[in-house]
A and B are shown apart, each in its own frame.
Chain A
């Protein structure tokens, strides 16, 4: 059964550093998303991406965040200058209709 994959599973970085989280969506899906989940809280929408451009973003997705589909298979989330409050689980999802989530990347900013 096809699934969304994410790398790395855990990323530790220092405040102010740049991180890139990677995702491989399900191959025939056209819509891609990033969500985050702070420990013990609900899943929050960050951004959706379709036809090589952002289709919607939340207020969390400020100028320090960017997304890219560098090739036909990968979908990345870049955080330019990480803050302590960026520590969370980051989930990638893809959809053709229903949204399917990856296993997540735990980002720890120290």
Chain B
């Protein structure tokens, strides 16, 4: 089955700096890669996603890149703000018409310091 690795496990940046979180996946059939933000005591919130026919996608301060050959994808947050502090999870999905389950990475605790 699919295995998703995520690094780093913790990341501390100064407000205004950029943050980068990286994930690798194992199943070449995976073709959809969402990123979720989880604040304390809440459910995962979808913040951006990318499909395998695209190499990069941007939404304001957030961008995601995908390298299908190397089987890795990354989340980039620019101009970080204190409210960006949360746990971020990457995930991978093979949309095969079956269960469409998401396989999650182990999470990155991002702390944005003033």
State the A residues within 8 Å of B (CB). 4, 31, 33, 35, 41-45, 48, 55-58, 91, 95, 98-104
Q: Closest CB of chain B to A49's CB: distance in Å?
A: 9
What chain B residues lie within 8 Å of A43 (beta carbons)?
Answer: 44, 89, 91, 102, 104
State the B residues within 8 Å of A (CB). 34, 36, 42-46, 49, 89, 91, 98-107
Nearest B residue (CB) for A44: B104
Distance in angstroms between the alpha carbons of A58 and B2 in the assembled complex? 12
Distance in angstroms between the alpha carbons of A44 and B101 in the assembled complex? 10
What chain B residues lie within 8 Å of A31 (beta carbons)?
Answer: 100
What chain B residues lie within 8 Å of A44 (beta carbons)?
Answer: 104
Which of B34, B46, B100, B106 has the most chain A CB atoms closer than 10 A to its own CB? B100
Further pairs besides A35-B102, A99-B100: 18, Cβ < 8 Å: A31-B100, A42-B106, A43-B44, A43-B91, A43-B102, A44-B104, A45-B102, A45-B103, A56-B100, A58-B101, A95-B100, A98-B46, A99-B34, A99-B102, A101-B44, A101-B46, A103-B43, A104-B42
Q: Which of A56, A101, A102 contacts B36 (CB 8 A)?
A: A101
